[in-house]
Structure 1
Amino acid sequence: MLHKILKIIALILSILGAVWLVRILMTGDTAIEDSADLQNGLVTPFIYIAYAAFAVAVIFVIVFVIKNIFSAGSSLKGTLIGLGAFLAVVVVSYLLASGEETPLRDGGTISASASRWVEAGIYAFYILAVVAIGAMVFSGVKKLAK
Structure 2
Amino acid sequence: MGLHKILKIVALLLSVAGIIFLAMIISKGDDAVRATGAGVDGFLYVAYIIFALVLLFVLVFVLKGLAAGNIKKTLISVGLFLAIVVVSYVMASSDVTGLPLVDGAPISESGSKWVSTGLNVFTVMAVLAVAAMVFSGIKKVTK
- TM-score interval for Structure 1 and Structure 2 normalised by the shorter chain: 0.7 to 0.9
Matches of 1:11 and 1:133 in 2, distance apart? 42
Partner of 1:76: 71
- What is the CA-CA distance between 1:85 and the residue it aligns to? 1.2
- What is the CA-CA distance between 1:109 and the residue it aligns to? 2.1
Pick from 97, 101, 110 the counterpart of residue 107 of structure 2: 110
Partner of 1:128: 125
Larger radius of gyration: 2
After superposition, give the CA deviation of every residue in 1:11-59 in whole Å (9 maximum; x if it has no partner): 443443344345434544333112x2xx1x4222222222222211211
- Gap regions ≥5 residues in structure 2: none
- AA paired with 1:86? F
Equivalent residue pairs, number: 140
- What is the CA-CA distance between 1:144 and the residue it aligns to? 1.5
- What is the CA-CA distance between 1:84 and the residue it aligns to? 0.6
Matches of 1:4 and 1:92 in 2, distance apart? 48
Partner of 1:64: 61
Matches of 2:134 and 2:86 in 1, distance apart? 26
TM-score of the aligned structures, taking structure 2 as reference length: 0.80
- AA paired with 1:106? D
Give SS of 2:121's match.
helix
Matches of 1:3 and 1:142 in 2, distance apart? 42
Partner of 1:92: 87
- AA paired with 2:17? L
- What is the CA-CA distance between 1:87 and the residue it aligns to? 0.8
TM-score of the aligned structures, taking structure 1 as reference length: 0.78
CA contact (8 A) 1:100 1:111 kept: no
Matches of 2:110 and 2:39 in 1, distance apart? 38
- AA paired with 2:134? V
- What is the CA-CA distance between 1:83 and the residue it aligns to? 0.8
Taking a change above 3 Å as real, the CA distance of residues 80 and 46 of structure 1, as seen in their structure-2 partners, is same
RMSD: 2.4
- What is the CA-CA distance between 1:115 and the residue it aligns to? 1.9
Matches of 2:105 and 2:121 in 1, distance apart? 26
Matches of 2:95 and 2:105 in 1, distance apart? 14
